[in-house]
Amino acid sequence: MTFTLRELAKMSGGELHGDPDQEISGAAALAEATADEIAFYSDPRYGSLLRKTRAAAVFVPLNFSDTISAAQIRVANPSKAFEQVVLKFAPNPISFAAGVHSSAIVDPSVKLGNRVSIQPHAVIEAAVSIGDDTVVGAGSYIGHESVIGASCVIYPNATIRERTRIGARVIIHSGAVIGADGFGFEFVENRHEKIPQLGIVQIDDDVEIGANTTIDRARFGRTWIQEGVKIDNLVQVAHNVVIGRHSIIAAQTGISGSTRVGEHVTIAGQVGIVGHVTIGDGTVLAAQSGVSKDVPGGVWFGYPAVPLPEAKRQVAWVHRLGKLFDRVKAIEKKLGL
């Protein structure tokens, strides 16, 4: 499949600077693109790659003014325009036929909607309900009395424990475990005794949960992942945590029990959050931050996390300690100390 630059410019609503009849047969990153492919540029940090690229054409911002050898299509959002083109060149998505594979184990009490696909060796326990057009991948487990909404994708080898509630259009990637027991123990008579974890996990519409992420069931009530939340791979969400609408959480983050994360929060990679704190709406927690108290909003960084301007000052002070130490030694020498 090929497109001319004229067609791509029309498709993206962009302004073409180059040969409109130039044919494009693929899309690639600036560093990998070849002479018949299109790339995109939106971040000044990649200016050197832009100047070196072999791409025939590049999506660039509307205000782009540099001179480059490649043709340009100027658009409001180069990344989004590039994504649209990638989808045109991509192979058809994998689809699964409706029905229950002969090797799957589905309890007779299970309620399946229209066009549900249950893949090989999946196990669906009693009193489960699954909505229209949902796919349950090979080897996945759906526990007793769980409810899964319409148009969900449960990838192979995911585990969804009993009584979990999942909305519509939810994506759960391989290895994720939803509804494992929360980590709750009391020290009684010189030993740790397990506290029963009797609650559920509720996942609202349009949530995506990455591979090998774990979301624990509540001690009582619910652990609640609200609408539109996106969770990366290898994230731990403990019991009774609430994550507000349209928040996003990057890999290797750990959120301790009963923490409340507000709406539109961004949590970068390897952030650690103690239990029973509140993260305000719109907060940004920078990578590897450690949160030990309530955060009212804004951008926070460091361990323990502090507002970003303060964190930058602290980093600058640390970098100056060597020179300060040398100055103190010199003063002490002059004083004969």
DSSP-derived letter for residue 46 is: G
Provide the CA 116 distance to its chain's centre, in angstroms: 26
Judged by DSSP in three states, 85 sits in helix
Helical spans, DSSP H, in the chain: 5-12, 47-52, 78-89, 308-335
Q: Are 259 and 241 in contact (CB under 8 A)?
A: yes
Q: Find the angle CA(113)-CA(115)-CA(121) to the nearest 5 degrees.
A: 90
- In 3D space, the residue among 223, 234, 228, 272 whose CA is nearest the CA of residue 247 turns out to be 228
* DSSP bridge partners of 186: 193
Which of 192, 239, 264, 319 does the annotation list as catalytic? 239
Is residue 239 part of the annotated active site? The answer reads yes
User: What is the edge-to-edge ordering of all strands in the sheet holding 15-17?
Assistant: 15-17, 71-75, 57-61, 37-40, 26-27
Which amino acids are annotated catalytic?
A: 239
